[in-house]
Structure 1
């Protein structure tokens, strides 16, 4: 397997295929780089170099007891991009991965990042607090913590249903996709997944978004039951060079269930 060892000794697994301008994919919680299979194949065939890593505590990366927070996630990406000497790179993040992209680009990406794409992203901040009164209540994340920490196998088996919008009228569960979600989740560390909930729900990316000079595309489904759609226009409004595309009826997991639409919209943006 291709891995690098970051400064605290944790091994980060990654895939690196092809040549050309690099696209780096950042997966969502609690998944792995495998969640980008469709995008990796599509953009590889378009002549890009495609790279995806398993976040620490996820997939095939090391299960460190420490560093399951957004600052460390971004620092790990910085070490990976430096090791691969990536420049003029496009960074694409889904959900938690969208926050990781923004934090990495703002803190470490100067001179290395050409464009960013945020899909169903947790930016600018998810949790309801004094400065974000329209956010998601803490009790929702506490329920996710309880299910993840103490009944993970069953909780992760049920979680893909709202994730992919299969609880909506006329939708049919795609069993292969559901089991692949469960497989990816169960590969990771229960501790990393438990602590990662705080990372994706309470991290505030407002200043990161404001600081970015690069073009950023924001994609979000209007029927997202995991990260509310209201996040997307708020994030786009904070960007100096942002563009928002919304999708009526699309779920949180739209890079998988609506891959053809998402991939083609990204390709048009990259070529514009």
Structure 2
């Protein structure tokens, strides 16, 4: 397997498809690089080099006890980019991965970055606070943690069969394949790593990181996202990122990388070619 080694010795797996300008994908929780297959196959087929890693504690990467927070996620991404000596790279992050990309730019800048895209992404802040009244209450995330400790296999099945893909909506075209695929990836994550990551994606404030974006940026979100509601996410981020392009998918759920993959692939290619 292709791996890189981080500063604390963690082995990070990555896949590397195609040739051309590099695109680096950061995945959502509790998934891994395989969740990007539709986008990677499409964009690699259109002349791009597509690279996606399994975040520490997820998929085929090591499961370290420590480092399951955004600063380390961002530094791991930096190690990947620097080890592969990528330049003029396009960073694309989904959900938690959108936070990872955002913190990377906040910590490491854009010297190696040409463009960025945040899809169904968690920034600026998911948690409801006095300064972020549109966020979700801490009870939501405490509930996720409790469910993970009680029966995380069932939690992943419930998320996939319900709000993640919008399969709990009337008339939804439910795919058992998508449900199984989400569950399988979730169960490949480390129990401690996935549990810690709930705090990382929900309580990290990316406001100052977003203000450091100085490359063309696409913010793409579904307005029926039940996992990362658009109000405290893309709509808020659009006010912080200079010259960001905001694209809203009417009726789309959180997991639109699968449910709306044809539309997303077309929009991403158009953004890359602009």
Which residue is equivalent to 2:269?
267
**SS at structure 2 position matched to 1:118:** strand
Contact 1:58–1:187 (8 Å) recurs in 2 = yes
TM-score by length of 1: 0.98
1:74-105 deviation per Cα after TM superposition (whole angstroms, max 9, x unaligned): 00000010000010000000000001011112
1:81-134 deviation per Cα after TM superposition (whole angstroms, max 9, x unaligned): 000001000000000000101111222143101000000000100001122122
Which residue is equivalent to 2:204?
203
Deviation at 1:4, TM superposition (A): 1.0
The reply on whether 1:10 has 2:23 as its aligned counterpart is: no
**SS at structure 2 position matched to 1:249:** coil
Which residue is equivalent to 1:148?
148
**SS at structure 1 position matched to 2:230:** coil
**SS at structure 2 position matched to 1:126:** coil
Deviation at 1:224, TM superposition (A): 0.3
State how 1:115-264 maps to structure 2 within 5 Å.
115-160=115-160, 161-230=162-231, 231-264=233-266
Deviation at 1:153, TM superposition (A): 0.9
Aligned length: 272
How large is the Cα RMSD of the aligned pairs?
0.8
Which residue is equivalent to 2:99?
99
| Structure 1 unaligned residues grouped into runs of 5+ | none
| Structure 2 unaligned residues grouped into runs of 5+ | none
Which residue is equivalent to 1:77?
77
**SS at structure 1 position matched to 2:25:** strand
Deviation at 1:229, TM superposition (A): 1.1
Contact 2:105–2:212 (8 Å) recurs in 1 = no
Contact 2:110–2:215 (8 Å) recurs in 1 = no
Instruction: Find the aligned partners of 1:79 and 1:46 in 2 and give their Cα distance.
Output: 26
Instruction: Find the aligned partners of 1:251 and 1:107 in 2 and give their Cα distance.
Output: 30
Deviation at 1:157, TM superposition (A): 1.1
Which residue is equivalent to 1:54?
54
TM-score by length of 2: 0.98
Instruction: Find the aligned partners of 2:203 and 2:256 in 1 and give their Cα distance.
Output: 23
Deviation at 1:63, TM superposition (A): 0.3
1:241-270 deviation per Cα after TM superposition (whole angstroms, max 9, x unaligned): 211000110000001111000110111111
Which contiguous aligned blocks of 4+ residues in structure 1 show a shift greater than 2 angstroms?
none
Mean Cα deviation higher: 10-19 or 64-73? 10-19
Mean Cα deviation higher: 104-113 or 62-71? 104-113
Mean Cα deviation higher: 103-112 or 179-188? 103-112
Instruction: Find the aligned partners of 1:100 and 1:246 in 2 and give their Cα distance.
Output: 21
Instruction: Find the aligned partners of 1:23 and 1:50 in 2 and give their Cα distance.
Output: 5
Instruction: Find the aligned partners of 1:66 and 1:137 in 2 and give their Cα distance.
Output: 26
Contact 2:110–2:214 (8 Å) recurs in 1 = no
Instruction: Find the aligned partners of 2:243 and 2:50 in 1 and give their Cα distance.
Output: 24
Contact 2:16–2:51 (8 Å) recurs in 1 = yes
Instruction: Find the aligned partners of 2:35 and 2:143 in 1 and give their Cα distance.
Output: 24
